[in-house]
Amino acid sequence: MPKIDVNGTTIFYQDQGPKDAPVLVLSHSLFFDQQMFEHQAKHLTKNIRIVRYDHRDQGQSARTELVSVDMDTHADDAAALIEALELEPCFFAGNSMGGFIALRLAARRSDLLKGCILLGSSAELEYKLEQFSPLIAGLAAQGTEPFIDTLMYIMFGDDYLADSSRSNEREYWRNYMLKLGTDIARSAHGVIHRDGILKELENNKVPLLVLAGGAGSCV
C-alpha cells in the first residue's frame, strides 16, 4: 500500500478508481482510519477516483512528536497530499474530524477544491469540552481499553449498537479501537481543542453539502 511524504510526515493512502474520473478525497473520523470508507469506495470507484488516507498519528500513517495534533496541521497535511498527488481541483468529504479538516480547506485552500461534503461535523468550538477532557486524560494515561464502551457509544450511538445486523462491523471497530495506544490521545486533544472557524467561512466560495443525523457528538 502506498505512502507519501508530505508536510513533514508520512501519509498512508489508497488511490482507487479510474485515474481520469472526478476525484473524491475521503477523510476519516477520530479513532478510525481510512477503512471506515471501505463500503463507499467499493461502490463509488466504478465511476469516481477515490483517494482515502490515514491522518498523521492514526492508522498506518507516521507518528509524530506533537503534544497535540491540531486541526490546522491536519488541514495542511490534506492540502499537501492533494498537491503531491496532483488531485486538484477535487471534491473532499470528511466525517466528523474529517469534516473539521474539510472546512479548513474550504476556508483557506479553495483553489484545491470543487466542493466539500461534511458529515456530522461543525465549524464551531467543541461544546462538550468539559465532558471530553477527562476522557482524553484517561486515554493518555491508560489507553483505550478502560474506556472502550464509552468510545463505542460516542462513535456509534444507541441505534447502531442495538442493531444485530451490524455485529460484525461493531466487533471489527471495537477490536480496532482496543489496539490504539496512548498516542491516540494527542489526536483526540487536537480535536476537542480545535478553534472555531465560522468567521473564516463568511466569504466561502466552495460549495458545501452538509449532512447531520440525530443528537450526538462530533469527534
- Predicted TM-score (pTM) of the model is 0.94
- How much is the pLDDT for 74? 98
Mean pLDDT over residues 126-144, rounded?
A: 96
Q: How far apart are CA 73 and CA 75, in angstroms?
A: 5
Judge whether residue 179 has pLDDT over 80.
yes
Mean pLDDT over residues 28-34, rounded?
A: 98
- How much is the pLDDT for 219? 57
Torsion region of 195: left, alpha or beta (phi above 0 gives left; psi -120 to 50 gives alpha) = beta
Band (pLDDT 50/70/90 cuts) for residue 47 is very high
Pick from 42, 69, 72: which is nearest to 58 by CA? 69
Q: How far apart are CA 154 and CA 164, in angstroms?
A: 18
Q: Which three cell numbers stand for residue 157?
A: 450511538
Q: How far apart are CA 152 and CA 195, in angstroms?
A: 25
Pick from 78, 73, 56: which is nearest to 12 by CA? 56
Band (pLDDT 50/70/90 cuts) for residue 212 is confident
**Residue 203: Cβ within 10 Å count:** 8
Q: Which three cell numbers stand for residue 55?
A: 491522518
Mean pLDDT over residues 91-97, rounded?
A: 98
Q: How far apart are CA 27 and CA 104, in angstroms?
A: 13
What digits encode the pLDDT tens for the residues 192-209? Answer: 999 999 999 999 999 999
Q: How far apart are CA 121 and CA 103, in angstroms?
A: 9
pLDDT-wise least confident of 89-93, 103-107, 155-159: 155-159
Higher per-residue confidence, 213 vs 107: 107
